[in-house]
Structure formats: C-alpha cells, structure tokens
Amino acid sequence: MYRYDQIDREMLADRAAEFRAQCARRLAGEITEDQFKPIRLMNGLYLQLHAYMLRIAIPYGTLTSAKLRALAHIARTYDKGYGHFTTRTNLQLHWIKLRDAPDILDELARVDLHAIQTSGNCIRNLTTDPHAGATADEVDDPRIWAEAIRQWSTFHPEFSFLPRKFKIAVTAAAKDRAAIRVYDIGLRLHRDAAGELVFTVMVGGGLGRTPYLGATIRQALPVRHLLSYLQAILRVFNRHGRRDNIWKARIKVLVASLGAEAFARQVDAEWEASDKTAVDLPDTELARIRAAFAPAGFATLPPVSPAFEAARRADPAFARFARNNVTPHKIPGYGLVNVSLKVPGETPGDCSAEQMDVLADLASRYSMDEVRVTYEQNLLLPHVKLDDIPAVYATLAAVGLATANIALVSDIIACPGLDYCALANARAIPIAQDIARRFSDPDVAEKVGELKIKISGCINACGHHHVGNIGILGVDKKGEEFYQLTLGGSGDDDATLGQSLGPALPADKVAPAVDQLVAVYLRERREGERFLDTFRRAGLAPFKEGVYAEAV
Amino acid sequence: MPKLFRWRAGEAVAAEDPFTAVDDDQVIPQGDVIISLTRFQSEGDRLLGGCRQVGVRLAPDEAVEALAYDLPRIGVVALAFPKFRDGRAFSAARVLRERLAYGGEVRAVGDVLLEQARYMVRCGFDGFEPADGSTPAQWTAVAHRFRHVYQRTRDGLAPAFVEREGLDHGL
C-alpha cells in the first residue's frame, strides 16, 4: 500500500505546526471562539454537546498496524479509551480537550495520519471499496485513483471554500461496496470496448434533507484525465452552486436544478477550456502510486484449506463466522475477514483501544499489515490465509470482535445521534441497541438473512437511513423523540431511496415495529428472496399493515 | 481608507493605493478608480479616454469572462469576498490568470482574512485589503507555512509530482 514519502510527511508536519500555532492563539485569548471556529473546523475539531470531537481521516479507509496502534494509543491517552468509526470510514474521538489537540495531531502525523479536511466546505476524505486489492471482481485497484485524488484535493487553493462540503467515492468493482451513488461524485472504474480503463462519472448523489442518487454525466472518461475532469466539475460547482441557503448548497441541488445534461455540458465546456496537462498527473507519478499498491507477498496455496474446513466442521460458532464474515479472496487460499463492530447491545462502530491493539497485532501477523474500515462501520482484515482464519477467529472472539452478523439484521449503521451530536433531534444508538438485542439470537438473525438497517438521528442522514432496507430517522415532535421509518432503500449497485412507511413512532415502538416488519417478510418471502427483494415484489402495503394495524 | 498589501517577490508589502474605490451612487473623482462592472460597461470607455487607470470590481456572481476583451486596459481587477466563506473569487482569480492570461493586479477585497493568504496567493491574487488588521509580516508567514504543494497553479511552485521527478533524477 501507499507509503508517505518525505513530501507527504512534511505536508502533515507543516499542518500540525500550523494548528499548534492557531490553538496557542486561541488558548491565549488572542482570537475569539468565533474567529477560531473556522480554523478548528478545518482541522476536524468540532465542539459538540459535551466536549470537543476530533474527526481523524482514514484515507480511503486503509490502516496499517502502526496506524491502528497509534489510534489506540491516542484513544487511551487523550480520550476515554475508545473511538467511533463512522460511515465515512473516519474515526471520531468524542471527549477531546482543546489543549491536547495539537499533541494529538503530532502523534497522528508520526504515523502518516491527520485530520485534514475532515470538516469544512472542502473536498473531504475519500471513500473506496474496502475489498480493494483483495476482490476478484475489480478491474483495477481503486486506491491508486483514491490516492491521486487525495493528493490533488489536499489544501486545494481553489476548492477550500466551496458552497458546501464535497465527498467523492471511487470503486473499481462490479459490486458497489462504497455507496458511490449517494456521493457528490461517484466514480466507477471499468474497461471500455477497447480494453482501456475509463471512469463512469456520477454527480449529485447525496442523502440529507433532499436525497438524490447520482446522475451519470460521463460514461467513459479516460483515466489519465481524471483530475482535470474533477477540477472542471468542482469549478462549475464552486462558481454556480447556491450559497444563499445551506440546505440547498450541495452539488445535488445544482445538478437537479440544471438537469444532469445541462450540468454535464457546463462541465464539458469548462473542461475543454482548461489546460488539462497542468492538472492531470504525469504517467510517471501514476506509475509511482500504482507500484505502491502492487500486490506482493501472496503465497501459492491450494484453494481449499483443510485446517479451515476442519474448524468449520468442529465448531458451529466458527462455521457461522465463516458463513457470515469471511468473503472469498482473489488469491486462492486467502479470505477477507470482516470484523463486526456491531455487538448487540453496544454502540455501532465503537472500538476500544484494546480491540484496536489486538486488530493491529492480527493485521501485522496475518493480514499483510492491513486493516480496512468499511462505510458500514465495520473493520476488515483483507488478506488472511484460510489456514490462519481459525486462529484469527479465536483471537477476535477473546476480545468481543467475532460477532457473526455481517449484513444481517443486527449489523446496524447508526450515527452518534443525540447522545453526542449537537445537530441531532433524537438518539440513534439506543434504538440500534434495542433492535440488535431483539435479534441477538444468531440463529434468528441468520434465518432473516441480509437486512440492512440504517439509523440517523436527524435529517442530515449521517446514518444513511434513506438507503437502509429499513431506514430509521429521528425527528423531534414537540420536544419528544419520534422515529420515521422508510423501507426498500439500498446503497448498493441497485441503489434506491427508501419509501416512507407511515406516521413516525415513539422510541419504544421502533424495535417492535422492526419485529413486525421482519415477521411480514418471513411470511411473504419466496425462495431465495432477501428482505429487499420481497419488499420490491410485494410493495409497501403488507409491511404497512403489519406495523400500523396493531397500533390502531 | 483600507490598507493595501501587494505581493512582490514572495512577500507581502504594504503599499500606497493609487486607486479610489467608487460606489455606483458616487461621483467619479479624479485619479485612478475602481468601479463596478455595471459602471465599467456604461462608462468605461469614457473613463479610459482620460489619463488615468481604471479598475473593475466584480461581485462573486459576475463572471470574469465578461471582462475578457477589456483586460489589457484594466489596471486592477478587484474580486469581492462578501464573506470569507464565499470562495467564488478563488475560481475567478485562477480563470483570470490561467485562462485569460491577465497580467495586471488581481486584488482581494471584502472579508479578506489572514488564514486565507496562502490560498489567495496560490490562485493568483497579488493585491490584498485585509479585513482583520493583519500585518504584512503575518501575511507573508501564513502564505509560506507549507513547504510543498500538491497542485500546479500559476504561482510558480512545483507541485509534489514534479518535485518527485526531480528527486528521482537526482538519484
């Protein structure tokens, strides 16, 4: 994977020094909180309900064991001993003291991590396929392009004061594991008829108050022109995006108001007028980045591992883990091990410092030193020999990280909600905990099968509720927390926005309603249907009846 | 009268401002003036006929391309930041420098803050009217806080991918 060179490192060191100076001015009272706010926000430091929250970027969700150990150390030293992985594959620490923030940035910079552009109206940390480099269904490693974009977008002089935040996701696989259609720009890498690598460029997706799926504005952008084309999109957005209303400032509103075709024409005109060679990376630089992601060190193994098969036969719990949490690898004899951060009853996405340390050890010993963060708030060891998976499982189980529920009903996405966030209308975490406890019996969860529940504590939709098979949105009704349910959403390659189920429910009725929805699904489903498939075939009516008939 | 910094040889220098900024409802005084685009379009030719320099002030929603054919005779293009968060002028400055090849002064006016010095210099601004009382020394320091850049603009700095080529050749 990509290792920072001297230039990348000096960028981080300069940033940490800059923030130290800015913090010193604030702590000395030379600048007011109002003046400091935009500065700290550019360093990912939010003032939340109880304390400062620091959002640490995990570029395209890739960690080494050294990085993960540093995060564990920081969580232990400066916070309460745990961190929260987000749907944007970042790590949030929710109990930070301002005076510690410069030291934290220094510690992060030592392992090539930072909080650059994790907030503010700029190009945010990139998201990509957590299976990158390990999955057989990709045409290229998307991290090559993610790294190119990371560098280009870092401290961009023109695009640091956009109308609103800007998020880019890139994938190179047929199956979308990065939810690219709900991003400001979604990039899908594929090969054209001539075999050349090209991007399909989607623009204007996003959730929040007005959800949209991205519209394709270019089918086959030659990869060498990626950055100049991104510059054209960003320039059109920077010049013409709305700035009069924060709720209408995302690029999705500009694209929707112009229409995707007219927007595409503006982008093309801007692109044609620009000096592409000044922006696009030279082949030498692309080759340098590409080399950093070249697969290396895989052993030649038989596709079937006797040790793995024996463990499956011997231990039903391991067999369940293997069924739900182990994904095939492109190299025979290897697997991807998904590590669920959705222990029923715990906070989705939370990970303790001890767990981080254990994962770091496992990564360095068994997974070529790599850990990935997924947008579904789980972690993943991408390159584990099947032979080693029983040992990895045992170690994970010993620290509570072997929950075998990936993509099942208890694998719930939830934002921090009103427990932490100053924007939230309602709590999200306790709702997730209630639901997960109801389905904590793994046999029941497996019988239900793939069912993605996503919970947001407010309309900003950090929990992606619009694309949940069951989406749950916290709303405030005269000071009381209520929850609006949507059904049928999907963030995958068949991306769809959910439909409203009916009137909002009080907090204690949400988990029972999910129970009802599952009961209707189990009654209605046909052979091989997932929850989503049954909903698409049978429609809203039986589900609506199931939930509201009893309530009346 | 707002103070003016000019960017000269990599440093911010306090400068006398020969221009008077004139609102649309004000009578045009003697000497060099900066006027709105609307006024420039109606009175520009007449003013340029006199022995003086004329500058044009653009609001963020006014496209710099509107000045394309007049740029050689415009002494300063003043790009407005009504709020520091309104970043449209960054694009305008780059288009002026990189596409329209404007060689005159590009001035940042309005809510112009020290923390933006680096972005402004990188995008091609070379005149600044800071709104926060910052000094030329502070302005220079902030503009040089980073040793490297990742993007190529017209500021002459080698982006990282060019620096790396140099490093490779040096081995």
pLDDT 10s digits, A46-58: 888 788 899 999 9
Q: Taking CB atoms and an 8 Å limit, are B152 and A279 in contact across chains?
A: yes
Distance CA A340, CA A401 (A): 6
Contact B57, B86 (CB under 8 A): no
Record the tokens describing residue B136, joined without a space.
């030329």
Residue A357, SS3 per DSSP: helix
Distance CA B145, CA B118 (A): 8
Q: What pLDDT, in 10s, does the model give residues B94-126?
A: 999 999 999 999 999 999 999 999 999 999 999
Q: Taking CB atoms and an 8 Å limit, are B91 and A121 in contact across chains?
A: no
Averaged pLDDT score across all residues of chain A: 95
Helix (H) or strand (E) run with residue A510 in it: helix A510-524
Q: Taking CB atoms and an 8 Å limit, are B164 and A157 in contact across chains?
A: no
Q: Taking CB atoms and an 8 Å limit, are B164 and A7 in contact across chains?
A: yes
Measuring CA to CA, how many Å separate A470 from each of A432, A467, A516, A517, B29? 12, 8, 12, 9, 67
Helix (H) or strand (E) run with residue A534 in it: helix A531-538
Backbone angles phi, psi at A362, to 5 degrees: -65, -40
Contact A515, A438 (CB under 8 A): yes
The answer to whether B38 faces chain A, any CB pair under 8 Å, is no
Residue A11 with chain B: CB contacts under 8 Å: 146-148, 150
The per-residue b/e assignment along A85-98, b for 16 or more CB within 10 angstroms, e otherwise, is bbbbbbbbbbbbeb
Considering only CB atoms, B151 lies closest to which of A156, A273, A284, namely A156
A66 burial via Cβ count (<10 Å: 0-12, 13-18, 19+): middle
Q: Taking CB atoms and an 8 Å limit, are A238 and B88 in contact across chains?
A: yes
Residue A308: predicted pLDDT: 98
Residue A316, SS3 per DSSP: helix
Average pLDDT of A245-260? 96
Residue B171: predicted pLDDT: 37
Residue A35: predicted pLDDT: 80
Q: What pLDDT, in 10s, does the model give residues B44-99?
A: 999 988 889 999 999 999 999 999 999 999 999 999 999 999 999 999 999 999 99
* Nearest-neighbour CA in chain A from B27: distance (Å): 31
Contact A448, A440 (CB under 8 A): no
Is the pLDDT at A447 greater than 80? The verdict is: yes
Residue A273 with chain B: CB contacts under 8 Å: 99
Q: What pLDDT, in 10s, does the model give residues A486-516?
A: 999 998 888 999 999 999 999 999 999 999 9
Backbone angles phi, psi at A377, to 5 degrees: 65, 35
Average pLDDT of A176-182? 93
Average pLDDT of A253-282? 97
Q: Taking CB atoms and an 8 Å limit, are A39 and B115 in contact across chains?
A: yes
In this structure, the number of other CB atoms found within 10 A of the CB of residue B128 comes to 28
Residue A47: predicted pLDDT: 85
Average pLDDT of A453-457? 96
Distance CA A367, CA A345 (A): 29
Q: Taking CB atoms and an 8 Å limit, are B165 and A158 in contact across chains?
A: no
Q: What pLDDT, in 10s, does the model give residues A478-487?
A: 999 999 999 9
Contact A243, A163 (CB under 8 A): yes
Residue B96, SS3 per DSSP: helix
Residue A229, SS3 per DSSP: helix
Residue A422: predicted pLDDT: 86
Is the pLDDT at B2 greater than 60? The verdict is: no
| Residue position matching structure tokens 């040992």 | A391
Distance CA A236, CA A36 (A): 29
Is the pLDDT at A442 greater than 80? The verdict is: yes
Average pLDDT of A144-166? 97
Residue A312, SS3 per DSSP: helix
Backbone angles phi, psi at B139, to 5 degrees: -60, -45
Q: Taking CB atoms and an 8 Å limit, are A160 and B119 in contact across chains?
A: yes
Residue B170: predicted pLDDT: 38
Distance CA A482, CA A465 (A): 14
Of A202, A203, A208, the closest CA to residue A189 belongs to A202
Distance CA A115, CA A49 (A): 20
Record the tokens describing residue A107, joined without a space.
């510690």
Contact A51, A79 (CB under 8 A): no
Q: What pLDDT, in 10s, does the model give residues B131-143?
A: 989 999 999 999 9
How many angstroms from the chain centroid is the CA of residue A128? 8
Contact A480, A425 (CB under 8 A): no
User: Going along A396-550, which residue ranges are E strands?
Assistant: 413-414, 453-456, 470-477, 480-487, 499-500, 505-506
How many angstroms from the chain centroid is the CA of residue B121? 8
Residue B118 with chain A: CB contacts under 8 Å: 155, 157
In this structure, the number of other CB atoms found within 10 A of the CB of residue A190 comes to 18
Considering only CB atoms, B160 lies closest to which of A39, A151, A238, namely A151
> pTM to 2 decimals?
0.94
Residue A539, SS3 per DSSP: coil
Q: Taking CB atoms and an 8 Å limit, are B164 and A154 in contact across chains?
A: no
Name the pairing type of β-strands A370-373 and B4-8: unpaired
Q: Taking CB atoms and an 8 Å limit, are A158 and B118 in contact across chains?
A: no
Q: Residues A101, A107, A110, A113: what is their CA dihedral angle, to the nearest 10 degrees?
A: -60
- % chain A with pLDDT above 90: 88
Residue A474: predicted pLDDT: 96
The answer to whether B94 faces chain A, any CB pair under 8 Å, is yes
Name the pairing type of β-strands A82-85 and A91-96: antiparallel
Contact A487, A171 (CB under 8 A): no
In this structure, the number of other CB atoms found within 10 A of the CB of residue B162 comes to 13
- Alpha helix positions (H), A328-428: 353-366, 389-398
Record the tokens describing residue A491, joined without a space.
């963030």
The answer to whether B149 faces chain A, any CB pair under 8 Å, is yes
Distance CA A303, CA A319 (A): 18
Is the pLDDT at A225 greater than 50? The verdict is: yes
Name the pairing type of β-strands A185-191 and A168-171: parallel
Q: What number of residues does chain A have?
A: 552
DSSP A282: P
Residue A551: predicted pLDDT: 52
Contact A1, A292 (CB under 8 A): yes
* Nearest-neighbour CA in chain A from B116: distance (Å): 9
* Beta pairing partners, A487: A470, A499
Residue type, A507: A
| Residue position matching structure tokens 């090559």 | A144
Q: Taking CB atoms and an 8 Å limit, are B152 and A155 in contact across chains?
A: no
* Nearest-neighbour CA in chain A from B165: distance (Å): 8
* Nearest-neighbour CA in chain A from B73: distance (Å): 23
Q: What pLDDT, in 10s, does the model give residues A187-213?
A: 999 999 999 999 999 999 999 888 999
Distance CA A356, CA A358 (A): 5
Measuring CA to CA, how many Å separate A104 from each of A41, A47, A79, A497? 15, 16, 11, 39
Q: Rounded to a whole number, what is the largest CA-CA distance in chain A?
A: 68
Is the pLDDT at B168 greater than 80? The verdict is: no
Please, what is the end-to-end C-alpha distance for chain B in angstroms? 54
Is the pLDDT at A470 greater than 70? The verdict is: yes
What Rg do the C-alpha atoms of chain B give, in angstroms?
Answer: 17
Distance CA A547, CA A550 (A): 6
Q: Taking CB atoms and an 8 Å limit, are B150 and A152 in contact across chains?
A: yes
Contact B123, A231 (CB under 8 A): no
The least confident of A267-271, A460-464, B22-26 is A460-464
Record the tokens describing residue A477, joined without a space.
């009704």
* Nearest-neighbour CA in chain B from A421: distance (Å): 23
Distance CA B132, CA B119 (A): 16
Which residue of B99, B150, B164, B171 is the best one to mutate when testing the A interface, meaning the one whose CB has the most A CBs within 10 A? B150
Determine the residue of chain B that is closest to A161 in CA distance. B87
Going A467 to A468 to A471 to A473, the CA torsion angle's sign is: negative
Q: What pLDDT, in 10s, does the model give residues A41-85?
A: 888 898 887 888 999 999 999 999 999 999 999 999 999 999 999
Backbone angles phi, psi at A203, to 5 degrees: -135, 145
Residue A548: predicted pLDDT: 92
Of B167, B112, B105, the closest CA to residue B138 belongs to B112
- Alpha helix positions (H), A374-482: 389-398, 429-438, 442-448
